[in-house]
Amino acid sequence: MSRSILMFLLACSGGTAFSEEIETVRSWDHYRELMIVDGTSAAESDARIAGMLSSLRSMDRSAGSDRIGVPAPSFEFDGWLNSEPLSLEDLRGQVVLVRWWTETCPFCASSAPALRAIDEQYSPLGLIVIGVYHPKADRDGPLDAARVERAVAARELDFPIAIDWDWRNGTLKDWWLTGPDRPATSVTFLLDKSGVIQFVHPGMEYHDPNGSEGHAMCAVDMAGIRSEIERLLAE
């Protein structure tokens, strides 16, 4: 098993990862390649991915309904890339999309093009996209800005990126982890122009149609996010 895959699995299970440079997963195909290169058979790799996609399809998409109508808690981030530090007060009057992501997650890799597309289409109309990096692998180490910069470059993200390094006690906890059990930490929020949470995608993955039946739900979710963005921009 590749080191990046191992650290992803260790992080998900609460294990300890290594301190060496962490490779950014670029896509599901790349994720599969990493497993195969390190000795996992193609069949085993495909079975593992099928199980992960099954969890995506069965995810409770109403998870997060308890956050609708709640004023977004303040940003308490550890750093910013591609932007000066932003506050919710700075963003009043604009619709804001906030998405947590990490470099070892294939769901996040597959969603990165969607975030770029959303930013390109809607930022001229008043949407602000903020990607929030939160480490899973080696998450107990000190903040490593260079690691975040590598991941941002690999995912080609040029909108504002916040760093929520201590996310278990930081902003993600305040926004998401204080309620009932959540299906994922790669959550997306849409805030209205007054800073109130109006939509939650509870995690994992979304994107435009890619011809894959296994990812059909991702396209449905992407359409729902676009619809909500357009509704909020029109208000």
Residue 1, pLDDT > 90, answer no
pLDDT tens-digit profile of 207-220? 999 988 889 999 99
β-partners of residue 188 are 99, 201
Per-residue pLDDT of 175-223, as tens digits, reads 999 989 999 999 999 999 999 999 999 999 999 999 888 899 999 999 9
**pTM across the whole model:** 0.90
3-class SS of residue 6:
helix
The lowest-confidence range among 17-26, 112-121, 136-145, 173-182 is 17-26
Write out 8-32 in H/E/C secondary structure.
HHHHHHCCCCCCCCCCCCCCHHHHH
Reply yes or no on whether the pLDDT at 102 is more than 90: yes
Domain ranges of the chain: 65-234
Would the pLDDT of 9 be above 70? Answer: no
CATH class of residue range 65-234: alpha beta
The whole-angstrom separation of Cα 36 and Cα 1 is 7
At 222, list the tokens.
């992407």
